[in-house]
Amino acid sequence: MTGVRADAGLPVLSRPAGRELMPRLALLPGIALLVAGAGSVFAFAPFGQYYLAIPSLAVWFWLCLSGGWRQTAWRSYLYGLGWFGAGVSWIQVSAHQFGVPLYSFSVGVTGLFVLVLALYFAAAGALGAWAAGEGACLGRRLLTLGGAFWLCEWLRGWLATGFPWGAVGYSQVGGPLDGVLPLFGTGGASALV
């Protein structure tokens, strides 16, 4: 052997490059949650693609099945930011047109409103993870997270004069669960979804 390395000419990843990749990969769940939450808007009118509510919520459930209540609350908050950021964008138009005609005001008020509404998803995530307990089985985690989501969605419709806009049950108008709405309301349709 002449002292030529076997890997000569091939790029070798050093430790720092590998360490730089990990923080980028850690952002993927957060980005997926924001996109899935924003994508939920297509399940509602005027788009009316009712079936999209299920994969949107499935991403949220999947990424919140592991971890403690703090991590689940944070991930749920990101999902809520996407959900309400896309779902209540009409408030900015209303605030600008019928309120103070300054974009700084209408965008700021809408942004603050979205930040507050996303707290309902954070509360649902934290409550669901806490109720399931650390290391809970998949079924228990799904049931507690789903029940906490339903409860927080119901509370959002009643607390502080209520804001039921964007409740999952409304997305099912015109879909297979349309017949459930007159019998059990949006809460019943939300529970089924």
Residue 16: predicted pLDDT: 52
Residue 148: predicted pLDDT: 96
Residue 15: predicted pLDDT: 52
Residue 3: predicted pLDDT: 54
Residue 64: predicted pLDDT: 92
Residue 40: predicted pLDDT: 96
Q: What is the pLDDT of residues 98-134, one digit of tens each?
A: 988 899 999 999 999 999 999 999 999 999 999 998 8
- What string of H, E and C letters represents the secondary structure of the chain? CCCCCCCCCCCCCCHHHHHHHHHHHHCHHHHHHHHHHHHHHHHCCCCCCHHHHHHHHHHHHHHCCCCCHHHHHHHHHHHHHHHHHHHCCHHHHHHHHHCCCCHHHHHHHHHHHHHHHHHHHHHHHHHHHHHHCCCCCHHHHHHHHHHHHHHHHHHHCCHHHCCCCCCHHHHHCCCHHHHHHHHHHHHHHHHHC
Identify the segments of the chain with pLDDT beneath 50: 1, 13
Residue 49: predicted pLDDT: 96
